[in-house]
Amino acid sequence: MTLLPSLIPHPAPVCPALPQPPLLPASGSTLFGTLIVEAVVPGSDDLELNAPGWELRTWPVARLGDVTLEARPLDPNLGPAELRRALEAIGVTALGPIRERRRT
């Protein structure tokens, strides 16, 4: 029986049409958001979301919902509970827990 190497490079991307998540910044630079959550967005064609007290970034790559949402509070005293309330106020449903970004 002949064994083939387990890692043979593929000449082309497997799914080139799928949207790609944002690239992580180079080491030493600061990350955008501190909180991450998947969400359902009403009228998900428009991904520009504005929640008072928060800077938001969204991208249409999610396992459960319409978008993955990354948030940075404008006030350092704001946390996951306040983000959930702010999202509900603009009609966005957070799916699952709002997680803190892991620092690497």
Mean pLDDT of 38-52: 80
pLDDT of residue 47: 66
State the Cα angle at 33 between 27 and 38, rounded to 5°.
120
Q: Per-residue confidence at 13, pLDDT binned at 50, 70, 90?
A: low
Specify the higher pLDDT residue, 46 or 99: 99
The model's pTM: 0.65
Whether residue 83 has pLDDT greater than 90:
yes
What is the CB neighbour count within 10 angstroms for residue 98? 20
Specify the higher pLDDT residue, 76 or 28: 76
Dig out the tokens for 27 from the structure: 């080491």
Strand 54-59 versus strand 67-73 pairing type: antiparallel
- Domains in the chain: boundaries: 35-100
- Read off the pLDDT of residues 15-36 as tens digits, 9 standing for 90 and up: 556 555 555 555 444 556 689 9
3-state secondary structure 59-87: ECCCCCCCEEEEEEECCCCCCHHHHHHHH
pLDDT of residue 29: 46
